[in-house]
Structure 1
Amino acid sequence: MKTISLGLSLGVSFAAVAPALANDDVLKRTADPKQQVLQTVDYANTRYSKLSQINKDNVKKLKVDWGFSTGVLRGHEGSPLVIGDIMYVHTPFPNNVYALDLNDSGKIIWTYQPKQDPAVIPIMCCDVVNRGLAYADDMIFLHQADTTVVALDAKTGEKKWSVVNGDPKKGESNTATVLPVKDKLIVGISGAEFGVRGHITAYDLKTGKLAWRAYSQGPDEDMLVDPEKTTELGKPIGKDSSLKTWEGDQWKTGGGSTWGWYSYDPKLDLFYYGTANPSTWNPKQRPGDNKWSMTIFARNPDTGMAKWVYQMTPHDEWDYDGINEMILTDQKIDGKEQPLLTHFDRNGFGYTLNRETGALLVAEKYDPVVNWATKVDMDKSSKTYGRPLVVAKYSTEQNGEDVNSKGICPAALGSKDQQPAAYSPETELFYVPTNHVCMDYEPFKVSYTAGQPYVGATLSMYPAPNSHGGMGNFIAWDGKKGKIVWSNKEQFSVWSGALATAGGVVFYGTLEGYLKAVDAKTGKELYKFKTPSGIIGNVMTYEHKGKQFVAVLSGVGGWAGIGLAAGLANPTDGLGAVGGYAALSQYTALGGQLTVFSLAD
């Protein structure tokens, strides 16, 4: 989800890439598996490493090599970066940054400690997390909780420029990383629970000057869409495509925030991202499809103009934000090689699209318990083509009335939230950390006041019934067929990002705090180690002086761990997560630590 410490009672690489099209420095360094300069590992968001020194035969020999305390308690999402001989570590609010010398036992080279108004904390929806730093052109980029975007000199920590991207007084905040593309820095915004109007923005990489901003809803010129050239499922979206789907001027407080992950195809010169839930969470109060919330966008990074869109959950009734990562691969499907985009949505469907045209190729459930819709209509001759076929029983607005709908699967945090999946070109499988959780959802009428919660729903969450009793699975997914290949059961949701490697090993973390390594082909568990706190960070790997290391941030929190992170006890607080994950406190406690592993000599 986004991000509420609120106790709310409501929740591949590309062939033939032309380097001149992208940021040369980023392309060069992402091609070197010894380093990691982006949270997504590469522009394609594959989270795949070509390093193979650690493999499925020797991974059982992993040991803790060294560690580092961040000095901050709360949820630690994202991962460190490694550029040359320096590791860069970030923290949740207050968003401190550490540069550590890998040649000197992780000695601190410099520290950046921003001074932020703590008033931003109550408007961060599901913990004060931050999904990490990015690097380009000798600068480290940080998007702070208070929406200040900062460029730091990578060697000295000196601030090169900063710019304010939003207004916390209106409920705008940030939890996401950023994406350097060419001479631009792409950044998003959080705050749909406060009725913000979502947007994606590009700043000049060298100066921080605003280049363009595209809103998620509103007039065509605000959204940077061309009614005749921007398409959905191959057809022009038409004039005022967004305005026609909102009642009156509700689009002005319509949500659609952009707090997730961004990917980029240098060959097509398009970047991809998703938009979040419409505001309010009470669907009765906002009739219509509420475009373009819950939508995948493909945009030109130079101008911001949208080439195509696809709305996955029209008129959302469940908070199924569409912000999860877009993984870009080139594979054969329907008998021909195609540029693909694979997306595991909060709504429980795994989508595969042609990323050049936006054509919908696959849409299947990646957790069998998903019940709010029977399927996505794939009949191109149908009036409902591309739309989910909603089961009336699980609608949260029935016969024009607010109802307490029970047994909805998945819960609002989705079959997967922001925790990123990985892809291996060797197996052609996606490795997906998932939530196996259902909910009861009762909307109520709410009024908009700037800077105040604009939710209007009470939620209760619990493990999927008639299942394995746990709240998570870690699965391997065939994106071409839309099928689960294997699935590992977990006691709690898998809130950590996955990492696939050329060694045939896939890594992920668990909410109890285990770093796990499994066989990429079979899912067999090969190694596990319990770190000091629950893991919601993303596993990363790098090489230094000829030796491969694996690193992960521990620090329980995020939406699933908000009860622990913020000290909440009411079961419906944290948008319903506090009650659902109450047992987590029996297995882990707050922490903030980096743990680095290597093979035993």
Structure 2
Amino acid sequence: MAEQSKTVDWAQHGLTNSEQRYSPLTQIGAENINQLSLAWYYDLPEQRAQEATPLIIDGVLYSSSAWNHVHALNAATGEVMWEYDAKVDKTNAGRACCDAINRGLAFGDGRLYMGAIDGRLIALDANTGKELWVTQTFDLSKQYSITGAPRVANGKVFIGNGGAEYGVRGYISAYDTSTGELVWRFYTVPGGPGDPTGTEPVESQTATWDGEWWKLGGGGTVWDSMAFDAELNLLYFGVGNGSPWNPMLRSNGKGDNWFLSSIVAVDADTGEYRWHYQTTPGEGWDYTATQHLILAELELASKPRKVVMQAPKNGFFYLLDRASGELLSAEPYVPVNWASHVDMATGRPQIADAAKYWLTDTPALITPSWMGGHNWHPMSYSQQTGLVYIPAHISAYPYLAEPDQKPSKLTVNMGVDTTIAAFPDEPEALKQVQDATYGMLLAWDPVAQKEVWRVQYPGVWNGGILSTAGGLVFQGTATGFLAAYNASTGEQLWQQPTQTGIVAPPVTFMVDGEQYITVSAGWGGVFPNMTGPLTRDSADGEPINRSRLLTYKLGGTSTLPAPTTQARTLPDTSHITTDPSKVARGFATYDRYCVHCHGAGAVGGGVLPDLRYSAMPLSRQAFKSVVYDGVLSERGMISFASELSEQDIEQIRQYVIDRNQQARRVGETQRLSR
């Protein structure tokens, strides 16, 4: 049967269990890519970051969106077939470090599976959207969350969770796909006295920790990547950072702290430990190993070798034997200064003394930053070119220990002083920081361990990757485009504006002989929320969230509506006199509790409110009613009264007013909003 008469699905998160995100479809190629245009679009209900990978099964597109909505659409037309709202209480926004996002669904035996922010694992009938079962996967008294996509294999659905910085203990669980009953659980961090154990090797794991780490949780959450090898019956998953980041607070600065920042392989049926490789022993920089895992067969030393590949945050690209976990190679894919190299004899990175900020009282400027050389955005491996395509970042961060940081349930616990990383107000100095922080589409040869080509972008947080047998690589950009490149050379062949930044990965499929490209569009996530001064202008102005599913085909005839924006004027606070000492204390409190949503320097990143432009701080009572009394809790703006006093909140208000006045001093008076 000719390809044009087929229906070709995208039924798993990475297309197959190997997570390569490489499609065999060839209808769209370099010779006709200029005919690719919009077939249909669908507006999503929540204007937040959209990070999901859609699934396409038998002509139906299934996708999740922010705040755990599920959408079933006709994949060829965009017609709505059914929708489901998990009705998450939006006070759960306080659980998620990185926005109320969801990275997608899993499918198996006619069921869809979704993990909700509030910890529910939900099974839906794929035909109707009806709930089949719901299982609560974590203790609601603790600050866990779920933002990642589940995976399905062998009659089990696998799910982890997030929340490491909130003081929790990481684990991954397997549930029966028919009933939702727990089958096994693997804890990535050892517990304290009386804490439960699972299938992990408790004794050897505990020996790598020191002190009373369990009082601060330990971290090690499994919040994203998984892959499955059916032949070996192994489930691979990546483990996150420590809690707190500062190893001295977490484990007295001692031990490797298994299984933080590790790739772990377990028996998929039993959860029994098989092997692990720790990318960053004793992790102290938020160097998660939760980044995309890809399984492939490569020719190494003239022999085929089944490998697992990862480009985690720490900046090294790893090749491991996927049966044994043996390290085969590790080379930096971005500039790295925290370690000189990885010792192939021991498998350990040779950590620079200057990078160990917890042993000194001076800052250490480290690259990559906490954002990583590569974050959650999926990469892709092309069977055609043999290259891995990485959505990479170049950035640095000044780490400084804060040994007296008090644990919190309402914000992240890092044990580092974030105030020293404040962005400069002077435009020329800020431009230097912006110019030193950028993103790129990196084509990497995993055998030779070297860069083949790159496409450099003006900013970071660009979308995940799709490669195809049509010789193409697709990626959305933070500046509001979907683009296609020659997979061998990096030449840009096609680009269309999307009216919003894209952070999610595209997918491709075929229905009734036509090939389509689909992507979830919607700017946002932890980087835009936290680092507003580093976000770059989009195709039509400042980065703005317009959440949509966008689907393209050859000869598509749909068009997006003209973008609507309005200019917000900076409120005049010149009549308000602030107290410099209160502003200084307010800055420290803001940087601990508010920066993750409202941005460094109170500069919004185009999604959540830019507080400099809010009239709320003009009124002391109005500001208190929101931050202390929680009058906007139903919209996700929780009350901070359990940890902050009215005096603390007044100091934050004065800091925000000071930021408003500073913006006016440098000539900023307007921002765009949707």
Amino acid paired to 1:189: N
Q: Aligned partners of 1:591, 1:320: CA distance in 2, in Å?
A: 31
Assess if the C-alpha contact under 8 Å between 2:7 and 2:59 holds in 1. Answer: no
1:435 to 2:393 alignment: yes
Q: Which amino acid aligns with 1:41?
A: L
Counterpart of 1:520 (choices 475, 484, 487) is: 487
Which amino acid is 1:437 matched to?
Answer: S
Bigger share in helix = 2
CA contact (8 A) 1:100 1:106 kept: yes
| Distance of 1:117 and 1:34 partners within structure 2 | 37
**Aligned counterpart for 1:404 among listed residues 332, 345, 363:** 363
For 1:593, the equivalent position in structure 2 comes to 548
- How much has 1:56 moved relative to structure 2? 1.6
Give the distance between the partners of 1:283 and 1:464, measured in 2 at CA: 33
Kindly tell me: are residues 183 and 126 of structure 1, through their superposed partners in 2, closer, same or farther at Cα, counting changes over 3 Å? same
User: Could you tell me the percent identity over the aligned residues?
Assistant: 32
Match of 1:51 in 2: 25
1:363 corresponds to 2:330: yes
Higher strand share: 1
In the TM superposition, 1:131-530 aligns within 5 A as: 131-218=103-190, 222=197, 224-226=199-201, 239-250=203-214, 253-286=217-250, 287-288=253-254, 289-367=256-334, 369-378=335-344, 380=345, 385-398=346-359, 401-406=360-365, 408-444=366-402, 445-450=404-409, 453-459=412-418, 460=421, 469=436, 471-530=438-497
Distance in 2, Cα, partners of 1:493 & 1:67: 25
The structural deviation recorded for 1:405 is 1.8
SS at match of 1:268: coil
Deviation at 1:452, TM superposition (A): 5.1
Shift of 1:467: 11
Letter matched to residue 409 of structure 1: T
The alpha-carbon distance between structure 1 residues 456 and 89, as it changes in their structure 2 partners (threshold 3 A), is same
Aligned-partner Cα distance in 1 for 2:434–2:306: 36
User: How large is the RMSD of aligned CA atoms in angstroms?
Assistant: 2.3
SS at match of 1:284: helix
Alpha-carbon displacement from aligned partner over 1:135-159 (angstroms, at most 9, x marks no partner): 1100111111111110000001110
Letter of the 1:491 partner, please give it. Answer: P
1:395 shift after superposition = 2.6
Report the CA distance between 1:247 and its aligned residue. Answer: 1.9
Distance 1:252 1:440, change over 3 A: closer
Q: Which residue is 2:659 aligned to?
A: none
Q: Which deviates further from its counterpart, 275-284 or 498-507?
A: 275-284
Give the C-alpha shift of residue 525 in structure 1: 0.5
Local SS of the residue matching 1:99 = strand
CA distance change for structure 1 residues 507 and 592 in 2, over 3 Å: closer, same or farther? same
8 Å contact from structure 2 (residues 23, 508) kept in 1? yes
1:97 is matched with which residue: 66, 70, 73? 70
Structure 1 position 556 matched with structure 2 position 523: yes
Letter in 1 for 2:209: T
User: 3-state SS of the aligned residue for 1:170?
Assistant: coil
In terms of mean alpha carbon deviation, does 168-177 or 145-154 score higher?
168-177
Letter in 2 for 1:281: W
How has the CA–CA distance of structure 1 residues 522 and 92 changed in structure 2, closer, same or farther, with 3 Å as cutoff? same
Contact 1:430–1:479 (CA<8 Å) still a contact in 2?
yes
Residue aligned with 1:560, SS? helix
Pairing partner for 1:533 from 500, 504, 525: 500
Could you tell which deviates more after superposition, 300-309 or 433-442? 433-442
Of residues 137-146 and 240-249 in structure 1, the stretch that sits farther from structure 2 once superposed is 240-249
Once the 2 structures are TM-superposed, how far is the Cα of residue 531 of structure 1 from its aligned partner?
A: 0.3
Alpha-carbon shift at residue 41 of structure 1 (Å): 1.1
2:21 aligned with 1:82: no
Residue 526 of structure 2 aligns to a residue whose secondary structure is coil
Task: List per-residue Cα deviations over 1:429-461 (Å, max 9, x = no partner).
Answer: 101111111111223132335565322324438
The code of the aligned residue for 1:180 comes to: V
| TM superposition shift of 1:538 | 1.0
Give the SS at the match of 2:527: coil
Equivalence for 2:80:
108
1:547 alignment partner, one of 514, 517, 523 = 514
Provide the TM-score with structure 2 as the length reference: 0.76
CA distance in 2, matches of 1:366, 1:465: 23
Q: Report the structure number with the largest CA radius of gyration.
A: 2
Instruction: State how far apart, in whole Å, the 1-side matches of 2:340 and 2:45 are.
Output: 47
What one-letter code is carried by the residue in structure 2 that aligns with 1:118? K
How much has 1:315 moved relative to structure 2? Answer: 1.5
1:40 aligns with 2:7: no
Q: Shift of the alpha carbon at 1:583? A: 6.0
Q: How many angstroms apart in 1 are the aligned matches of 2:499 and 2:509? A: 22
Aligned runs of 1:64-79 on 2, under 5 Å?
A: 64-79=38-53
Amino acid at match of 1:428: G
SS, match of residue 169 in structure 1:
coil
- Over residues 46-66 of structure 1, what are the superposed CA-to-partner deviations in whole Å (9 max), with x where a residue is unaligned? 001011100122112211111
Aligned letter for 2:354? Answer: K
Q: Is the 8 A contact 1:471 1:490 kept in 2?
A: yes
Q: CA deviation at 1:225?
A: 3.5
Q: Which amino acid aligns with 2:236?
A: Y
Which residue of structure 2 aligns with residue 16 of structure 1?
Answer: none
- Give the 3-state SS of the residue equivalent to 2:121 in structure 1: strand
AA of the residue aligned to 1:144: A
1:265-319 deviation per Cα after TM superposition (whole angstroms, max 9, x unaligned): 1011101111111111222212222221111100111100110011111111211
CA distance 1:376–1:524, change in 2 (3 Å): same
The answer to whether the Cα contact below 8 Å between 1:178 and 1:185 also exists between their aligned partners in 2 is: yes
Q: 1:470/1:195 Cα in 2 relative to 1: closer, same or farther (>3 Å)?
A: closer
Structure 2 residue identity aligned to 1:91:
S
Equivalent residue letter for 2:96: M
Q: Deviations over 1:56-77 (max 9, x none)?
A: 2211221111100012111000
Q: Quick one: which amino acid aligns to residue 94 of structure 2?
A: P
Distance 1:335 1:461, change over 3 A: farther
Change (3 A) 1:203 1:192: same
Distance 1:67 1:583, change over 3 A: closer
Distance (Å, rounded) in 1 between the aligned partners of 2:65 and 2:462: 17
**Structure 1 position 107, deviation (Å):** 1.9
User: Alpha-carbon deviations, 1:170-196, whole Å to 9, x = none?
Assistant: 110011000001110000010001011
Structure 1 Cα separation of the partners of residues 134 and 461 of structure 2: 35
Counterpart CA distance in 2 for 1:451 and 1:305 is 34
Query: 5+ unaligned residues in a row in structure 2: which ranges?
Result: 1-5, 424-429, 557-674
- Count residues with an aligned counterpart: 535
Partner of 1:61: 35
Whether the 8 Å contact between 2:313 and 2:374 is mirrored in structure 1 is: yes
Q: Is the 8 A contact 1:33 1:51 kept in 2?
A: no
Task: Please say if residues 438 and 461 of structure 1, whose CA atoms lie closer than 8 Å, have aligned partners that are also in contact.
Answer: no
Give TM-score, length-normalised by structure 1: 0.85
